Chain A
Amino acid sequence: MKQKEIFLGNGAIALGLLEAGCQVVTSYPGTPSSEILPEVVRLIKSAGLNTYVEWSTNEKVAFDNAFAAAVSGKRAACCMKQVGLNVAADSLMSAAYIGTTGGFVIISCDDPGPHSSQTEQDTRLMARFAKVPVLDPSSPEEARQMVGVAFDLSEEFQVPVIVRPAIRVCHARENLTWGGLKNNDQKASFEKNPGRWAATPRFRFILHGELNRKLKEIGRRFEKLDPFNFHDLKSGEKYPLGILAGGVPYSVVRDILSDEDRKDIPVLKMCAPHPFPEGLAKEFMSACEKVLVIEETDTVIEYFLRDREKVLGRFSGHIPSEGELVPEVIYGLINKTLEELQMKGLSSEGHESAIELVKGLELPIRKPTLCPGCPHRASFFAIRKARPKAIFTSDIGCYTLGINLGGVDTCLDMGAGITMASGFYHSFAHDQVEQPIVATIGDSTFYHSGPAGLLNAVYNDSRFILVILDNQTTAMTGMQPTPGLGIRADGTKGKTIPLERVVAGCGVDFIETVDPYDLKAMVKLIKKAAEYTSDPAGGVAVIIARHPCVIAYREEAIPQKKEIVVTEDCVECNFCHDWFECPALYKDPDLERTAVDQTLCAQCGVCLEICPKGAIIEA
């Protein structure tokens, strides 16, 4: 029975995985990839499939687990965000040489913008770097189809294949028809062959040659990979301008040309850009005087085009080298190119004056902020109060927003809250300077990449306080469980691995747990930890600030609700706004003091402790 349903792009990818008979799906959450695995779980439950799913502790772990499944002959996939693939890069480079037996597909989701990432990096470049094929969907439906094609290619050529949907595919919704999902009964088997599966450098040279031959063959396949790679040139016709586009920008270009009824501009769609279909590109280039290359976010296609004189793209300054290529940007750059080539322009736009008008309105800037009642807010307040002169190294998660409270000075990548803390320590200690340092990291991020850095810090006698902000979920990406909870991806029970045990295993001797809602206790504990870090016999001190996320655990997170008011004692000193930044505390222009927005207030009561004038009280 087929049914129609509106799918999130990530759901369309999940559907594509199961339609292709993928038997093992692993993932670590990260925007914009996070919903793929939950959608897989939803679909396998509704269709009664036996697919194995797991939230892995990090992307490299996810990669290796899925890779081994593929080596055993099953179809397997791992899903992550683009910077997650950096974590798994070591595995990717090697897996490309070794290859697989069963189909192995890596879904790596890009974030042009960036909307929720450290970088705007282009996974297609990673594919070229690793020498593996990559497919770049232009819509949710296409992403679904591509996953199936990726598995077929992977199995036929015994090579990992990357599918890289960008955020506008992942977080788009489209109506799809689906049904009739079936289990794939491929059994696991492993034939020992150390020359391949445990290849030494001598064999690696041979494998590299094999990979190069595979790529050549796949490149020939990509010349005619309709409907992912094709052009609409009319035979024998010459054009002053053609557009070469891939991925999401392809969809935008098609919409614009169709809205404007521009049949005079041919398009080469290239959604399978690596290995590069050289012949297809040449054919298109030879029919066009100039070719505008529109791709996100880097110069993968443009780099491969040989006839530089004809190419208009990032190298020539026609396409911006940063930021998302949203429709109005693409519209503008096509129009500018048409003008430059003295061709008929697009119909006028007219929204630019509106942008200026809106700028002039001085609308409130709504920067992202920690939720009312968020336990991280309490932790940052206590940390800053107890160690005002410290360097605050931090990490990736909701708590990066502690930057608004002056509680975050650095954010590099997953795990760097700890490794930068030890780096700072040694840098200052080198000059005989005792610099206080407080590192923060979330629970899920700690499991992801905390232990190696912490172990290193203890081993090399670094001195700093590490506060693990344990809100008992992976909040930023949508409340995925952690090993600390012991709940698995499909909701079944796994083994709980408490943070305390992991921290102790890293060699830490000072481990204390506190509820950050109790500000006084936390401030006291941080001061005690500071003494320990200064003691010659001391070391790294770890505080686990444990309080459940107010979004994930709702009522349970705030058992004792307190109605809060601000009295006339408020002198508008701004202390609560600068140090606490709760969205429920706002400056009331009529009262000429701070007030509580009762519709936003979570009634956690933490702010009762913060006002220097004692103006925040319980009603």
Chain B
Amino acid sequence: MENINFVLSGLGGQGILFMTKLLAQSAVNKGLKILVAETHGMAQRGGSVVSHLRVGGVRGSLVRAGSAHILLALEENEAYRNIPFLAKGGKLYANAPKTSFPRKEVRPYLEKIGIECRSIPASDIAVKLAAPMSTNLALLGFFSAFQEGPISYDELKETIAQVSPDRFREINLKVFDKGFEGGSE
């Protein structure tokens, strides 16, 4: 299998680390090698949070700019901030309004290097299900609907059931499925 590089971005408190864990654990569950790079410490206090996930036989944990196959952004501006990571032909999934994303200034570049952009108001989905902290799961569910990368919807779902704390399992799966529905439409 070819190596796959993910960049996950958002703000402190949005659950970037948990979303990364779900993808990483799913990959490990099917016998793939992974490396993750995380943001801790001072940078985590309200700042932009980014984590990198590399699936396959790689050595370094950081994704090189220009080499991410998939960018998952939990906030619109954090999606734009991380555009330089995207490889030619990469995919961008963002928590953003369906119609206005991406903003027009970035469109020519994204078109030039063949980036497919998909967005969903993931926060709204999470809020509607009374789980405002679960934007990450809504976006992950949305992403899983496009069968992009090495991890399937079923595999992610199994991991969510496996690693969620008991009291959040049901709602986590519900938000994830709602995101998936949004992507399947």
Contacts and interface: CB of A to CB of B under 8 A. Distances in A.
Interface of A: 4, 6, 8, 31-32, 34, 115-116, 138-139, 168, 171-175, 248, 250-252, 254-256, 326-328, 331, 349-351, 353-355, 357-358, 360-361, 363-364, 366-371, 398, 401, 476-478, 583, 599
A175 B66 contact: no
Interface string B29-59: 0000111111111111111100000000011
Given A168-B60, A360-B105, A351 B33 contact: no
20 contacts: A6-B25, A115-B39, A115-B42, A116-B40, A168-B61, A168-B62, A173-B34, A173-B36, A174-B34, A250-B59, A254-B59, A255-B60, A326-B65, A328-B66, A349-B66, A361-B80, A361-B103, A361-B105, A363-B80, A477-B41
A401 B28 CA distance: 38
Given A4-B28, A583-B46, A116 B41 contact: yes
A248 B103 CA distance: 37
Contact of B46 (A32, A361, A368): A368
A252 B85 contact: no
A163 to B, nearest CB: 18
Smallest CB-CB A-B distances: 7 pairs: A116-B41, A31-B41, A351-B66, A327-B64, A173-B36, A251-B59, A172-B61
Given A6-B25, A168-B62, 10 more contacts: A173-B24, A173-B61, A251-B59, A256-B64, A351-B65, A351-B85, A354-B65, A358-B83, A358-B84, A366-B47
A357 B58 CA distance: 29
Contacts of A401: 45
Contacts of B63: 327
B97 to A, nearest CB: 17
B18 interface: no
A172 B37 contact: yes
B45 A255 contact: no
Interface in B89-133: 103, 105-106, 109, 113, 132
A92 B173 CA distance: 52
Nearest to A4: B28
Interface string B15-26: 000000100110
B152 interface: no
Contacts of B86: 351, 354
A168 B45 contact: no
A363 B103 CA distance: 12
Nearest to A353: B109
Nearest to A250: B59
Given A175-B33, A328-B64, A368-B47, A255 B58 contact: yes
A358 B64 contact: no
Given A172-B35, A351-B84, A251 B113 contact: no
**Residue among A31, A368, A398 facing the most chain B CB atoms (10 A cut-off):** A368
B81 interface: yes
Q: What size tier do the contact residues of chain B reach?
A: 35 or more
Given A31-B42, A168-B60, A350 B35 contact: no
B62 A252 contact: yes
A366 B59 contact: no
A363 B59 CA distance: 32
A136 to B, nearest CB: 14
B106 A357 contact: yes
Nearest to B84: A354
A328 B25 contact: no
Contacts of A172: 35-38, 61
B77 interface: yes
Nearest to B37: A172
Contact of A358 (B24, B39, B81): B81
B171 interface: no
Nearest to B21: A6
A171 B83 contact: no
A514 B163 CA distance: 42
A358 B85 CA distance: 11
Contacts of A361: 80, 103, 105-106
Contacts of B132: 599
Contacts of A8: 38
B81 to A, nearest CB: 5
A350 B24 contact: no
Contact of A368 (B25, B45, B65, B105): B45
A599 B34 CA distance: 34
B11 interface: yes
B35 to A, nearest CB: 6
B174 interface: no
Contacts of A175: 28, 33-34
Nearest to B34: A175
B62 A116 contact: no
Nearest to A138: B59
Contact of B40 (A171, A248, A250, A369): A171
B28 A327 contact: no
Contacts of A369: 45-46
A255 B58 CA distance: 6
A155 to B, nearest CB: 30
B157 interface: no
Contact of A115 (B28, B43, B113): B43
A175 B58 CA distance: 12
A116 B38 CA distance: 13
B36 to A, nearest CB: 4
Contacts of A355: 65, 84
Contacts of A331: 64
A252 B60 contact: yes
A350 B81 contact: no
Nearest to A116: B41
Contacts of A248: 60
A406 to B, nearest CB: 18
Contacts of B40: 31-32, 34, 116, 171, 478
Given A326-B62, A360-B105, A367 B77 contact: no
